[in-house]
Structure 1
Amino acid sequence: MSSDPWGRVDETGTVYVRTADGEKVVGSWQAGSPEEALAYFERKYEGLAVEIGLLERRVKTTDLSAKDAQAAVDHLRQQVDEHHAVGDLEALRKRLDDLLGTVESRREERKAVKAKQTAEAKEAKERLVAEAEELAASEQWRVAGERLRALVDTWKGLPRLDRKSDDELWHRFSHARSAFSKRRKAHFASLDAQREETRKTKERLVAEAQALSNSTDWGATSARYRELMQEWKAAGRAQREHEDDLWNRFRGAQDVFFQARAAVFAERDAEQQENLTRKEELAEEAEKLLPITDLKAARAAFRSVNERWEAVGHVPRDARPKVEGRMHAVERALQEAEENEWRRTNPEARARAAGLTGQLQDAVDRLQRQIDAARTSGNDAKADKLSRELEGRQALLDQALKGLEEFGG
């Protein structure tokens, strides 16, 4: 018989292991010595210890699931409980019990982590739903649409919740996206209809602009083109694929008209500039008649200048007042000379002036005699009053005499 601290082999070759509950049969050994039997079953013990050690490391260092770890522990415990090894089986059981505690602790930790992740995922999805529902009412179509697409990508990256919670949140999220899409579709459908009406309006404006392009009624047509431009701006924008073409046609028709007008105006401006030069020369010729010494000759010369003036034609508007003012000044000088000549040579006017002068002279003489008489009689008050009246009559007489001189005396 052979034995060691943890087992023995009896005379029949039966191998026993010592446990806290007494000896347990491990197996039978007939192929060799008892020492070899004990060594064999000790190696089986060591193999179990190695497997337990490996499982301990896997539990501590890998993401082995609690379920798989539990199954591995149960499998090893069964082997230990079957007593097919010689060694400190209670130590192995304790290690398995400790390992099972570790597995259970890891299970609770993972459960807590998963619960936290689920809560965070639910909170995140609720935030996504709230933002999506807010965006559903937005009219920032491009920005809101891009943001909703980004929210979908974010949603896909989040863990699933329990079926009921996940379905409810997804339903709200999807409904918000659908509501936004329907509103956006309706908006752009309305916008398309509006732009189609704008296109028709601008086609009409283009047609009228083209019809006016060959007009030579420069003022009225220019005014109408300004009105057409105001109508164009008020019409809004047509579809992108039509807007540029419509504008090019509309602007092209205007360019034809305004280029033709510009050419005509340039020619007219050149002609009017030549007219201005000619009228300035005539004004200078007329001004040489001043001062007037021979009224008859000056009148004839001015008539000749004026006839040539009238034949010249229009000058630039901004230059017209100055050059015409020069001619008017000469014309006024002639009129004044003619009026003076008429007054000087008119017999009736001279007779009237002479008669008035005589009457005033008689009145002055009479007043002077009355003053002298009043002074002689000592009536100074009357004399002063008559003196004041004399001053007025004398002033009128002086004026009349001056007028009579203009008639040559």
Structure 2
Amino acid sequence: MSSDPWGRVDESGTVYVRTADGEVVVGSWQAGSPDEALAYYERKYEGLVVEIGLLERRVKTTDLSAKDATTAIGHLRGQVDEHHAVGDLDALRKRLDALVATVDARREERKAHRARQSDESRHAKEALVTEAEELAQSDQWRAAGERLRALVDTWKGLPRLDRKSDDELWHRFSHARSAFSKRRKAHFASLDAQREDARRTKERLVAEAESLSGSRDWGATSARYRELMTAWKAAGRAQREAEDDLWNRFRGAQDVFFGARGEVFAERDAEQADNLKLKEELAAEAERLVPVRDLKSARAAFRGINERWEAIGHVPRDARPKVEGRMQAVERALQESEETEWRRTNPEARARAEGLTGQLQAAVDKLRGQIDTARASGNNARADKLTQELEGRQALLDQAQKGLQEFGG
């Protein structure tokens, strides 16, 4: 008979293994010595130790699924329970039990992780749906379209939820994208229609502009071209290729007309520049009449100058206010001289001025007497009040006397 701490072989060749529940038959050995039998079954035990060790490392260091790990543990436990090895089988069962606990804990961790991941994915997809629904109402067609495409890529990268929840969110998301696409399509269809209307309108404007390009009615045609330009801007833009061609024709017609007008105006400007020199000479001649010494001769001289002025013709528009202002200043000086002379020689006006001055002088003298009387009687309040009234009457008297002096007395 042969034995070791974990097993023995009896005289009949039966091999036993020692467990916590007592000895258990491992098998029968007839092929050699008892030591060889124990060595054979000990090697089987060592094989189990190696396999359990490998499984422990896989569970701890790889992403082995709980299902596959449980299957492997069951396979090894079956080998251990069959008692076909000699060694500390109870220790192997404890290691397998510990491994089961590890796998169960790992399963719960992964379950919790999937739950967190699902919750995060739900929140992320709900946020994508909310943003997509907001973008569906946007009129920023390019930016919103690009953002919606980016949201689709983000959606594809998120984990799926349960089928019902995922389908409901995707339906809202897809509906928002479809609504935006429908609005964008309608907008650009409307825009195309507007551009077609603009093209037809601008073709009519171009036709009229080209028909006017040979006109020599400078004022009316210039005004009409301004109206055509206002109508052009109000028409909106046509399709790009049509817009450029129509604009070149429209602008070209204007260039023909305004080019011809410019040549005519250049000749006119040269003539008006000569007119300006003549009128400046007349203005200087008129200015020598001021100050007026002999009103009658000055007025006659000014009429002669003015007749020559009217015969000269137009001057440049920007120079007109200055040169005409010089003549108007001389005319005002003559008018003021006439008014002064009229006032000086008008007997009725002189009589009215003298009468007003006399009345004011009498009123001033009376107030002065009243003030002296009030002071003498000690009534200073009345004297002060009369003094204020005197100041006003005296101012009127001074003004009347000044006007009387204009009559030479």
- The corresponding residue for 1:321 is 324
Is the deviation greater in 273-282 or in 231-240? Answer: 273-282
Residues of 1 paired with 2:202 and 2:81: CA distance?
96
C-alpha RMSD of matched pairs (Å): 3.4
Give the corresponding residue for 1:239.
239
Which protein has the larger Cα radius of gyration, Structure 1 or Structure 2? Answer: 1
**Aligned length in residues:** 330
Following TM superposition, by how much is the alpha carbon of 1:68 offset from its aligned partner in structure 2, in angstroms?
A: 0.5
Partners of 1:181 and 1:320 in 2: CA distance: 68
Partner of 1:34 in structure 2? 34
TM-score by length of 1: 0.71
1:152-185 per-position Cα deviation (integer Å, ceiling 9, x unaligned)? 1111111011111111111111111111111111
Match of 2:193 in 1: 193
AA at the equivalent of 1:321 = E
Distance 1:90 1:322 in 2: 128
Match of residue 89 from structure 1: 89
**Residue 31 of structure 2 aligns to a residue in which SS?**
coil
Worse-superposed segment, 11-20 or 113-122 = 11-20
- Amino acid across the alignment from 1:316: P
Q: CA deviation at 1:140?
A: 2.2
* Cα distance between partner residues in 2 of 1:78 and 1:125: 47
Q: CA deviation at 1:275?
A: 3.4
Instruction: Please tell me whether the aligned partners of residues 279 and 323 of structure 1 are also in contact (alpha carbons under 8 angstroms).
Output: no
- Measure the CA separation in 2 of the matches of 1:41 and 1:92: 15
Partner-residue secondary structure (3-state), 2:18: strand
2-structure distance, mates of 1:65, 1:243: 67
Letter of the 1:126 counterpart: E
Q: Which residue of structure 2 aligns with residue 361 of structure 1?
A: none
Q: Residue type of the partner of 1:91?
A: A
Distance 1:62 1:174 in 2: 39
- The answer on 1:70 being equivalent to 2:70 is yes
User: Which amino acid counterpart does residue 269 of structure 2 have in structure 1?
Assistant: D
Q: Which residues of structure 1 form unaligned runs of 5+? A: 294-298, 337-409
How far apart in 2 are the matches of 1:288 and 1:171?
Answer: 96
The amino acid that maps onto 2:228 is: L
Percent identity over the alignment is: 79
CA contact (8 A) 2:214 2:256 kept: yes
Query: Does 1:48 find its partner at 2:48?
Result: yes
> Structure 1 residue 23: deviation in Å?
2.1
User: Mapping of 1:240-389 within 5 angstroms?
Assistant: 240-278=240-278, 313-317=313-317, 318=320, 321=324
Counterpart for residue 177 of structure 1: 177
Q: Secondary structure at the residue paired with 1:8?
A: strand
Change (3 A) 1:258 1:21: same
Aligned-partner Cα distance in 2 for 1:287–1:122: 95
Q: Does 1:103 align with 2:98?
A: no
Structure 2 counterpart of 1:218, one-letter code: W
The answer for the alignment partner of 2:134 in structure 1 is: 134
CA shift for structure 1 position 137? 2.0
* SS of 1:84 mapped into structure 2: coil
The 1:324/1:260 distance shift into structure 2, 3 A limit, reads farther
- Aligned-partner Cα distance in 2 for 1:266–1:245: 31
Note closer, same or farther for the CA distance 1:214–1:9 as it changes in structure 2 (3 Å cut).
Answer: same
User: Which amino acid in structure 2 is aligned with residue 203 of structure 1?
Assistant: E
Residue 281 of structure 1: how far off its partner (Å): 5.8
Give the Cα separation in 1 of the matches to 2:81 and 2:167.
Answer: 49
SS of the equivalent of 1:93 reads: helix
SS in 2 for 1:90: helix
C-alpha distance in 1, partners of 2:283/2:326? 7
The answer on whether the counterparts of 1:283 and 1:326 sit within 8 Å (CA) in structure 2 is no
CA 1:7–1:220 in 2, change beyond 3 Å: closer, same or farther?
same
Alpha-carbon shift at residue 283 of structure 1 (Å): 7.5
Alignment partners' CA distance in 1, 2:57 and 2:151 = 42
Distance 1:205 1:127 in 2: 52
Provide structure 2 residue ranges, at least 5 long, that are not aligned to the other structure.
295-299, 339-409
CA contact (8 A) 2:286 2:327 kept: no
Secondary structure of the structure 2 residue equivalent to 1:30: coil
Q: CA deviation at 1:278?
A: 4.7
Alpha-carbon distance between aligned partners in 2 of 1:59 and 1:287, rounded to the nearest angstrom? 117
In 1: Cα distance, 2:22 partner to 2:289 partner: 161
- The structural deviation recorded for 1:320 is 6.0
Aligned equivalents of 2:306 and 2:134: distance in 1?
85
Give the C-alpha shift of residue 287 in structure 1.
Answer: 9.7
TM-score, normalised with respect to structure 2: 0.71
Task: Give yes or no for contact 1:16–1:23 (8 Å, CA) kept in 2.
Answer: yes
Which whole-Å CA distance do the structure 1 matches of 2:203 and 2:264 have between them?
A: 29
Match of 1:156 in 2: 156
> CA distance change for structure 1 residues 42 and 257 in 2, over 3 Å: closer, same or farther?
same
In the aligned structure 1, how far is the partner of 2:35 from the partner of 2:56? 31
Partner Cα separation in structure 2 for residue 310 and residue 165 of structure 1: 95
Work out whether residues 206 and 246 of structure 1, in 8 Å CA contact, stay in contact via their aligned partners in 2. yes
What CA deviation, in whole Å up to 9, does each residue of 1:262-289 have, x standing for no partner? 2211111112222333555678799999
Distance 1:251 1:184 in 2: 34
Give the CA deviation at 1:324.
6.9
Distance 1:34 1:315, change over 3 A: same
Q: Note closer, same or farther for the CA distance 1:77–1:273 as it changes in structure 2 (3 Å cut).
A: same
CA distance in 1, matches of 2:289, 2:63: 123
Q: Which amino acid counterpart does residue 229 of structure 1 have in structure 2? A: M
* 2:58 and 2:64 in contact (8 A); partners too: yes
Alignment of 1:217 with 2:217, yes or no, is yes
Q: Give, in angstroms, the shift of residue 132 of structure 1.
A: 1.5
Q: Given the superposition, is the C-alpha separation of residues 66 and 270 from structure 1 closer, same or farther in structure 2, using an over 3 Å criterion?
A: same
2:182 corresponds to which letter in structure 1?
Answer: K
Give the Å deviation of 1:143.
2.2
Hey, what does 2:372 align to over in structure 1?
none
User: Structure 1 counterpart of 2:132, which letter?
Assistant: A
Q: Structure 2 CA distance, aligned partners of 1:283 and 1:84? A: 139
- Measure, in 1, the Cα distance between the counterparts of 2:151 and 2:289: 95
Deviations 1:66-119 (A, max 9, x none): 001001101111111111110010110111011111111111111111111112
Give me the whole-angstrom Cα distance separating, in 2, the residues matched to 1:174 and 1:184.
15
